[in-house]
Structure 1
Amino acid sequence: MADTETEDKNKPAEPAGKKGGGLMTQLVLAVVLGCTAFGTVWFMPARSGGTAECAPVGDVKSTATLLPELALSEITFIEMEPMIVTLGEDASARNLRIGITLETAKADQESILFAQPKLRDAFTGYLRALEVSDIEDPNSIIRLRAQLQRRAEVILGNQSVRGVLITDFVIR
Protein backbone atom coordinates (compact mmCIF):
# COMPACT_ATOMS: atom_id res chain seq x y z
CA MET A 1 0.00 0.00 0.00
CA ALA A 2 2.84 2.32 0.82
CA ASP A 3 4.38 1.72 -2.61
CA THR A 4 1.23 2.87 -4.42
CA GLU A 5 1.11 6.05 -2.37
CA THR A 6 4.68 6.99 -3.29
CA GLU A 7 4.00 6.21 -6.95
CA ASP A 8 0.96 8.51 -6.92
CA LYS A 9 3.02 11.34 -5.40
CA ASN A 10 5.73 11.01 -8.06
CA LYS A 11 3.28 11.31 -10.98
CA PRO A 12 2.85 14.81 -12.33
CA ALA A 13 -0.49 16.29 -11.30
CA GLU A 14 -3.03 16.47 -14.15
CA PRO A 15 -5.16 19.55 -14.32
CA ALA A 16 -8.47 18.96 -12.60
CA GLY A 17 -11.21 19.07 -15.23
CA LYS A 18 -9.43 20.41 -18.31
CA LYS A 19 -11.61 23.17 -19.73
CA GLY A 20 -12.38 22.98 -23.43
CA GLY A 21 -12.73 26.07 -25.52
CA GLY A 22 -9.47 26.33 -27.27
CA LEU A 23 -9.32 28.26 -30.50
CA MET A 24 -9.71 25.17 -32.64
CA THR A 25 -12.79 23.98 -30.72
CA GLN A 26 -14.44 27.38 -31.08
CA LEU A 27 -13.74 27.50 -34.81
CA VAL A 28 -15.19 24.03 -35.36
CA LEU A 29 -18.27 24.94 -33.33
CA ALA A 30 -18.76 28.16 -35.31
CA VAL A 31 -18.52 26.30 -38.64
CA VAL A 32 -20.96 23.59 -37.52
CA LEU A 33 -23.49 26.13 -36.25
CA GLY A 34 -23.16 28.21 -39.41
CA CYS A 35 -23.72 25.17 -41.63
CA THR A 36 -26.73 24.14 -39.54
CA ALA A 37 -28.31 27.59 -39.81
CA PHE A 38 -27.69 27.75 -43.56
CA GLY A 39 -29.08 24.24 -44.09
CA THR A 40 -32.17 25.01 -42.05
CA VAL A 41 -33.01 28.06 -44.11
CA TRP A 42 -32.02 26.60 -47.47
CA PHE A 43 -33.81 23.27 -47.15
CA MET A 44 -36.79 24.38 -45.06
CA PRO A 45 -40.04 23.67 -46.89
CA ALA A 46 -42.35 26.57 -47.69
CA ARG A 47 -45.29 26.95 -45.32
CA SER A 48 -48.62 25.81 -46.64
CA GLY A 49 -50.59 28.75 -47.88
CA GLY A 50 -47.46 30.88 -48.09
CA THR A 51 -45.50 31.76 -51.14
CA ALA A 52 -42.16 30.12 -51.65
CA GLU A 53 -41.09 32.55 -54.35
CA CYS A 54 -41.60 36.25 -54.85
CA ALA A 55 -42.85 37.62 -58.12
CA PRO A 56 -40.40 39.80 -59.99
CA VAL A 57 -40.93 43.51 -59.41
CA GLY A 58 -42.08 44.23 -62.94
CA ASP A 59 -44.36 41.18 -63.08
CA VAL A 60 -47.17 42.35 -60.81
CA LYS A 61 -50.00 41.01 -62.98
CA SER A 62 -48.76 37.42 -62.70
CA THR A 63 -50.58 36.84 -59.39
CA ALA A 64 -53.98 35.21 -59.75
CA THR A 65 -55.73 37.24 -57.03
CA LEU A 66 -55.60 40.62 -58.78
CA LEU A 67 -58.93 42.08 -59.79
CA PRO A 68 -59.47 43.24 -63.35
CA GLU A 69 -58.66 46.89 -63.84
CA LEU A 70 -61.56 49.30 -63.99
CA ALA A 71 -61.76 52.69 -65.62
CA LEU A 72 -61.92 55.61 -63.20
CA SER A 73 -65.50 56.25 -64.31
CA GLU A 74 -66.48 52.75 -63.10
CA ILE A 75 -65.03 53.17 -59.57
CA THR A 76 -66.85 54.68 -56.62
CA PHE A 77 -66.02 55.24 -52.98
CA ILE A 78 -68.41 54.46 -50.15
CA GLU A 79 -67.67 56.38 -46.98
CA MET A 80 -68.77 54.60 -43.83
CA GLU A 81 -69.76 56.46 -40.69
CA PRO A 82 -66.75 56.97 -38.40
CA MET A 83 -66.41 54.27 -35.76
CA ILE A 84 -65.29 54.75 -32.16
CA VAL A 85 -63.98 51.60 -30.52
CA THR A 86 -62.57 51.01 -27.04
CA LEU A 87 -59.14 49.39 -27.09
CA GLY A 88 -58.02 47.05 -24.31
CA GLU A 89 -59.84 45.59 -21.35
CA ASP A 90 -58.62 47.65 -18.40
CA ALA A 91 -60.37 50.63 -16.84
CA SER A 92 -57.92 53.08 -18.38
CA ALA A 93 -58.69 51.83 -21.88
CA ARG A 94 -58.23 54.23 -24.75
CA ASN A 95 -60.52 54.86 -27.69
CA LEU A 96 -59.84 54.58 -31.39
CA ARG A 97 -61.75 56.78 -33.79
CA ILE A 98 -61.44 55.45 -37.32
CA GLY A 99 -62.97 56.53 -40.60
CA ILE A 100 -63.19 53.93 -43.33
CA THR A 101 -63.93 54.38 -47.03
CA LEU A 102 -64.46 51.40 -49.33
CA GLU A 103 -63.35 51.43 -52.96
CA THR A 104 -65.68 49.46 -55.22
CA ALA A 105 -67.12 49.21 -58.69
CA LYS A 106 -70.28 51.23 -59.27
CA ALA A 107 -72.11 48.01 -60.08
CA ASP A 108 -71.43 46.71 -56.55
CA GLN A 109 -72.38 49.91 -54.74
CA GLU A 110 -75.91 48.88 -53.77
CA SER A 111 -74.89 45.51 -52.36
CA ILE A 112 -72.22 47.17 -50.21
CA LEU A 113 -74.63 49.80 -48.94
CA PHE A 114 -77.08 47.04 -48.07
CA ALA A 115 -74.38 45.04 -46.21
CA GLN A 116 -72.94 48.00 -44.28
CA PRO A 117 -74.33 46.84 -40.89
CA LYS A 118 -72.57 43.49 -41.32
CA LEU A 119 -69.37 45.25 -42.35
CA ARG A 120 -69.50 47.57 -39.33
CA ASP A 121 -70.05 44.56 -37.07
CA ALA A 122 -67.09 42.68 -38.54
CA PHE A 123 -64.84 45.75 -38.41
CA THR A 124 -65.87 46.57 -34.84
CA GLY A 125 -65.22 42.99 -33.70
CA TYR A 126 -61.72 43.06 -35.14
CA LEU A 127 -60.87 46.54 -33.89
CA ARG A 128 -62.18 45.78 -30.41
CA ALA A 129 -59.76 42.85 -30.12
CA LEU A 130 -56.75 45.11 -30.73
CA GLU A 131 -54.51 46.46 -27.99
CA VAL A 132 -53.06 49.95 -28.09
CA SER A 133 -49.60 48.46 -28.55
CA ASP A 134 -50.87 46.68 -31.70
CA ILE A 135 -51.59 49.96 -33.47
CA GLU A 136 -49.02 52.39 -32.07
CA ASP A 137 -46.39 51.16 -34.53
CA PRO A 138 -46.39 53.38 -37.67
CA ASN A 139 -46.39 50.26 -39.90
CA SER A 140 -49.47 48.83 -38.22
CA ILE A 141 -51.76 50.85 -40.50
CA ILE A 142 -50.81 48.53 -43.37
CA ARG A 143 -51.76 45.43 -41.38
CA LEU A 144 -54.94 47.11 -40.18
CA ARG A 145 -55.99 47.98 -43.73
CA ALA A 146 -55.26 44.42 -44.91
CA GLN A 147 -57.30 42.88 -42.06
CA LEU A 148 -60.26 45.15 -42.76
CA GLN A 149 -60.01 44.31 -46.48
CA ARG A 150 -60.04 40.59 -45.65
CA ARG A 151 -63.16 40.95 -43.51
CA ALA A 152 -64.91 42.90 -46.27
CA GLU A 153 -64.01 40.16 -48.77
CA VAL A 154 -65.42 37.47 -46.48
CA ILE A 155 -68.74 39.29 -46.11
CA LEU A 156 -69.17 40.63 -49.65
CA GLY A 157 -67.13 38.26 -51.78
CA ASN A 158 -63.68 38.69 -53.27
CA GLN A 159 -64.76 40.84 -56.20
CA SER A 160 -66.82 43.53 -54.44
CA VAL A 161 -64.40 45.61 -52.36
CA ARG A 162 -61.35 46.69 -54.30
CA GLY A 163 -59.71 48.57 -51.46
CA VAL A 164 -60.11 49.85 -47.92
CA LEU A 165 -59.02 53.39 -47.23
CA ILE A 166 -58.47 54.65 -43.70
CA THR A 167 -59.44 58.31 -43.73
CA ASP A 168 -59.38 59.07 -39.98
CA PHE A 169 -57.23 57.46 -37.33
CA VAL A 170 -57.15 58.96 -33.84
CA ILE A 171 -56.27 57.25 -30.56
CA ARG A 172 -57.55 59.03 -27.46
Structure 2
Amino acid sequence: MTDATADEAEAPKKSGKLGMILGVILALAGAAGGFFATTAGLLPFGSEKPEDMAKTKDEKKDVEALPDVGFVDQPSVIVSVNAGDSRHLKFHAQLEVNADYIADVEKMQPRIMDVLNNYMRAVELTDLEDSLALMRIRGHLLRRIAIVVGEGRVRDVLVMEFVLN
Protein backbone atom coordinates (compact mmCIF):
# COMPACT_ATOMS: atom_id res chain seq x y z
CA MET A 1 0.00 0.00 0.00
CA THR A 2 2.72 2.40 0.66
CA ASP A 3 4.08 1.73 -2.84
CA ALA A 4 0.76 2.71 -4.45
CA THR A 5 0.60 6.03 -2.66
CA ALA A 6 4.20 6.76 -3.53
CA ASP A 7 3.47 6.29 -7.26
CA GLU A 8 0.54 8.69 -7.09
CA ALA A 9 2.60 11.32 -5.31
CA GLU A 10 5.33 11.20 -7.98
CA ALA A 11 2.95 11.87 -10.88
CA PRO A 12 4.31 14.73 -13.02
CA LYS A 13 2.53 18.10 -12.76
CA LYS A 14 1.35 19.68 -15.98
CA SER A 15 2.92 23.07 -16.57
CA GLY A 16 0.10 24.52 -18.72
CA LYS A 17 2.43 25.85 -21.43
CA LEU A 18 0.41 24.19 -24.16
CA GLY A 19 -2.73 26.16 -23.21
CA MET A 20 -0.84 29.42 -23.15
CA ILE A 21 0.75 28.78 -26.55
CA LEU A 22 -2.66 27.92 -28.04
CA GLY A 23 -4.13 31.11 -26.53
CA VAL A 24 -1.42 33.29 -28.07
CA ILE A 25 -1.83 31.63 -31.48
CA LEU A 26 -5.62 32.07 -31.39
CA ALA A 27 -5.25 35.71 -30.30
CA LEU A 28 -2.90 36.45 -33.21
CA ALA A 29 -5.22 34.70 -35.66
CA GLY A 30 -8.20 36.70 -34.32
CA ALA A 31 -6.31 39.96 -34.59
CA ALA A 32 -5.25 39.20 -38.17
CA GLY A 33 -8.82 38.21 -39.09
CA GLY A 34 -10.25 41.37 -37.51
CA PHE A 35 -7.74 43.53 -39.36
CA PHE A 36 -8.60 41.88 -42.66
CA ALA A 37 -12.36 42.19 -42.07
CA THR A 38 -12.02 45.86 -41.19
CA THR A 39 -9.80 46.84 -44.12
CA ALA A 40 -11.82 44.78 -46.62
CA GLY A 41 -15.05 46.49 -45.54
CA LEU A 42 -16.76 43.29 -44.46
CA LEU A 43 -18.06 44.76 -41.21
CA PRO A 44 -21.40 46.63 -41.35
CA PHE A 45 -20.30 49.52 -39.13
CA GLY A 46 -17.34 50.57 -41.29
CA SER A 47 -19.11 53.32 -43.29
CA GLU A 48 -16.44 54.53 -45.70
CA LYS A 49 -13.75 52.82 -47.71
CA PRO A 50 -10.51 54.65 -48.50
CA GLU A 51 -11.70 55.26 -52.09
CA ASP A 52 -14.91 56.87 -50.79
CA MET A 53 -12.98 59.04 -48.34
CA ALA A 54 -10.99 60.55 -51.22
CA LYS A 55 -14.24 61.40 -53.03
CA THR A 56 -15.78 63.08 -50.00
CA LYS A 57 -12.73 65.33 -49.57
CA ASP A 58 -13.30 66.67 -53.08
CA GLU A 59 -17.04 67.03 -52.48
CA LYS A 60 -16.47 69.01 -49.28
CA LYS A 61 -14.97 71.83 -51.31
CA ASP A 62 -18.48 72.68 -52.51
CA VAL A 63 -19.71 74.26 -49.28
CA GLU A 64 -22.28 76.95 -48.80
CA ALA A 65 -20.90 80.48 -48.78
CA LEU A 66 -20.93 82.42 -45.54
CA PRO A 67 -23.54 85.15 -45.22
CA ASP A 68 -22.44 88.63 -46.21
CA VAL A 69 -22.15 90.24 -42.78
CA GLY A 70 -19.92 92.70 -40.98
CA PHE A 71 -19.32 93.50 -37.35
CA VAL A 72 -19.75 96.89 -35.74
CA ASP A 73 -17.82 97.24 -32.51
CA GLN A 74 -19.51 99.03 -29.64
CA PRO A 75 -17.48 100.77 -26.93
CA SER A 76 -17.38 99.10 -23.52
CA VAL A 77 -20.06 100.11 -21.05
CA ILE A 78 -19.29 100.20 -17.33
CA VAL A 79 -22.30 100.69 -15.07
CA SER A 80 -22.91 100.37 -11.35
CA VAL A 81 -25.28 97.54 -10.48
CA ASN A 82 -28.16 98.25 -8.11
CA ALA A 83 -26.86 96.46 -5.05
CA GLY A 84 -26.10 97.35 -1.42
CA ASP A 85 -22.36 97.30 -2.04
CA SER A 86 -20.37 98.94 -4.80
CA ARG A 87 -20.43 96.54 -7.76
CA HIS A 88 -19.81 97.34 -11.39
CA LEU A 89 -20.72 95.58 -14.61
CA LYS A 90 -18.45 95.86 -17.64
CA PHE A 91 -20.18 95.02 -20.90
CA HIS A 92 -18.64 95.02 -24.38
CA ALA A 93 -20.49 93.88 -27.50
CA GLN A 94 -20.27 93.74 -31.26
CA LEU A 95 -23.24 93.87 -33.58
CA GLU A 96 -23.51 91.38 -36.42
CA VAL A 97 -24.89 93.48 -39.27
CA ASN A 98 -25.94 92.66 -42.82
CA ALA A 99 -23.19 94.06 -45.04
CA ASP A 100 -25.50 96.44 -46.90
CA TYR A 101 -26.40 98.26 -43.68
CA ILE A 102 -23.03 98.67 -41.94
CA ALA A 103 -22.86 102.40 -42.68
CA ASP A 104 -26.44 102.90 -41.44
CA VAL A 105 -25.73 101.11 -38.16
CA GLU A 106 -22.47 103.01 -37.62
CA LYS A 107 -24.32 106.28 -38.20
CA MET A 108 -26.80 105.35 -35.43
CA GLN A 109 -24.09 104.31 -32.95
CA PRO A 110 -24.76 107.15 -30.44
CA ARG A 111 -28.42 106.09 -30.22
CA ILE A 112 -27.37 102.44 -29.83
CA MET A 113 -25.00 103.37 -27.00
CA ASP A 114 -27.84 105.28 -25.32
CA VAL A 115 -30.03 102.16 -25.48
CA LEU A 116 -27.16 100.02 -24.15
CA ASN A 117 -26.49 102.38 -21.22
CA ASN A 118 -30.15 102.74 -20.27
CA TYR A 119 -30.81 99.02 -20.37
CA MET A 120 -27.63 98.04 -18.50
CA ARG A 121 -28.37 100.57 -15.74
CA ALA A 122 -31.81 99.01 -15.26
CA VAL A 123 -30.33 95.52 -14.76
CA GLU A 124 -30.28 94.42 -11.15
CA LEU A 125 -27.97 91.99 -9.43
CA THR A 126 -30.74 89.41 -9.02
CA ASP A 127 -31.25 89.48 -12.80
CA LEU A 128 -27.61 88.47 -13.30
CA GLU A 129 -27.70 85.48 -10.94
CA ASP A 130 -29.78 83.37 -13.33
CA SER A 131 -27.84 81.01 -15.60
CA LEU A 132 -29.78 82.28 -18.63
CA ALA A 133 -29.21 85.95 -17.81
CA LEU A 134 -26.77 86.55 -20.65
CA MET A 135 -29.13 85.02 -23.23
CA ARG A 136 -32.01 87.13 -21.95
CA ILE A 137 -29.87 90.32 -22.01
CA ARG A 138 -28.78 89.59 -25.58
CA GLY A 139 -32.39 89.15 -26.66
CA HIS A 140 -33.54 92.35 -24.97
CA LEU A 141 -30.68 94.34 -26.46
CA LEU A 142 -31.25 92.94 -29.94
CA ARG A 143 -34.91 93.93 -29.79
CA ARG A 144 -34.13 97.45 -28.57
CA ILE A 145 -31.37 97.96 -31.16
CA ALA A 146 -33.68 96.71 -33.92
CA ILE A 147 -36.19 99.39 -32.89
CA VAL A 148 -33.49 102.07 -33.14
CA VAL A 149 -31.88 101.07 -36.47
CA GLY A 150 -34.81 99.29 -38.11
CA GLU A 151 -35.79 95.65 -38.56
CA GLY A 152 -33.47 93.38 -40.56
CA ARG A 153 -30.30 95.44 -40.25
CA VAL A 154 -28.78 93.89 -37.12
CA ARG A 155 -28.67 90.10 -37.10
CA ASP A 156 -27.30 89.46 -33.61
CA VAL A 157 -25.63 90.95 -30.56
CA LEU A 158 -22.32 89.24 -29.82
CA VAL A 159 -21.15 89.62 -26.22
CA MET A 160 -17.40 90.07 -26.11
CA GLU A 161 -17.02 90.93 -22.44
CA PHE A 162 -19.38 90.53 -19.49
CA VAL A 163 -17.63 91.08 -16.16
CA LEU A 164 -19.24 91.74 -12.79
CA ASN A 165 -16.89 93.18 -10.14
Question: Would the aligned equivalents of 2:83 and 2:125 in 1 still touch at CA under 8 Å?
Answer: no
Question: Can you list the C-alpha shifts for 1:14-64, whole angstroms capped at 9, x where unaligned?
Answer: xxxxxxxxxxxxxxxxxxxxxxxxxxxxxxxxxxxxxxxxxxxxxxxxxxx
In the TM superposition, residue 154 of structure 1 has moved relative to its aligned partner by 0.6
CA 139–109 in structure 1, closer or farther in 2 if over 3 Å, else same: same
Say whether residues 1:100 and 2:68 are aligned partners: no
**Structure 2 partner of 1:75:** 69
Written as runs of structure 1 = structure 2, the 5 A alignment for 1:1-172 is 72=66, 74-88=68-82, 90=84, 92-172=85-165
Write the letter of the residue equivalent to 1:165: L
RMSD: 1.7
**Structure 1 partner of 2:21:** none
- Whole-angstrom distance in 2 between the partners of 1:156 and 1:99: 19
Instruction: Mark the runs of 5 or more structure 1 residues left unpaired by the alignment.
Output: 1-70
Instruction: Mark the runs of 5 or more structure 2 residues left unpaired by the alignment.
Output: 1-64
**Structure 1 partner of 2:19:** none
Q: Secondary structure at the match of 1:149?
A: helix
In the TM superposition, residue 93 of structure 1 has moved relative to its aligned partner by 3.3
TM-score (ref. length: structure 1): 0.56
Write the letter of the residue equivalent to 2:74: M
- Whole-angstrom distance in 2 between the partners of 1:166 and 1:149: 11
**Structure with greater helix share of residues:** 2
Larger Rg: 2
**Fraction of identical pairs, as percent:** 31
- Whole-angstrom distance in 2 between the partners of 1:160 and 1:124: 21
The 4+ residue runs of structure 1 with deviation greater than 2 A are none
In the TM superposition, residue 106 of structure 1 has moved relative to its aligned partner by 1.2
TM-score (ref. length: structure 2): 0.58
